[in-house]
Amino acid sequence: MSIDTVVVGRDQLDLLIPLIVEHQRACGREVDLAITRAFFEGVVGNDASFQIIAIEEGVAVGCVMVDPIPNLQFADNVAYVHDVYVTEPLRGFRGIGAILVAAAFVEAMRRGYEYAEGETEPDNTPARKLYDRLAKKMGVGCKDVGSVRYLLDLRPGIERARNEPEYLDRLASPRLLSRLSAPPEADGH
């Protein structure tokens, strides 16, 4: 069986949405199909962001998202390749994830991005090797920058702000920020 990759347009939205829902559920999220669909209707076809799906025999079996991110080191936007997802029964042995990542890098080049960023866990040796291997095959450079990304769950703060309207203003105060940057002993700890 052959795997084809397609940049998602409005015509492929019905192929993408089930993958997104499956991915969200796999991440432990409750899914609101209407909100998910509305979100992707707003981003599909965008010039800067794009999504790619892997299709086998007319069925979407994987996807990857790409969004621009500002990068001050390069004074330019960088294509951020993220949320690579392959359906459970096809993970790990057919190379669909690698196909999706390569397709994302190729499409980023088509769109004029000069840099792309992918990420993985520091101990994910297979993914790290994949980036190196893809870079060599594609004839592009690959540098392990050793960075760590953080995902902050802001929902508790949003919920608290609903009950305490002044909460966000208190958090944004210069006094709080100066205490956060002070050495621990100056903070009384």
Per-domain residue ranges for the chain? 4-138, 155-187
**Which of the four pLDDT bands, split at 50, 70 and 90, describes residue 181?**
low
**pLDDT of amino acid 156:** 83
Mean pLDDT within 138-145: 80
**Which of the four pLDDT bands, split at 50, 70 and 90, describes residue 176?**
low
Contact between 77 and 11 (Cβ < 8 Å): no
Amino acid at 176: L
Alpha helices in the chain (DSSP H): 13-26, 33-43, 96-110, 125-138, 155-163, 167-171, 174-181
Mean pLDDT within 112-121: 84
In the chain, how many H helices and how many E strands? 7, 5
pTM score? 0.78
**pLDDT of amino acid 189:** 46
CATH of 4-138, one of 3.40.630.30, 2.40.10.120, 3.30.43.10, 3.40.50.150: 3.40.630.30
More confident residue, 75 or 138: 138
Structure token digits, residue 31: 């899914």
Q: List 76's β-bridge partners, or say none.
A: 71
Pairing of strands 76-86, 116-117: parallel
Q: List 117's β-bridge partners, or say none.
A: 80
The pLDDT > 70 percentage for the chain reads 87
**pLDDT of amino acid 187:** 45
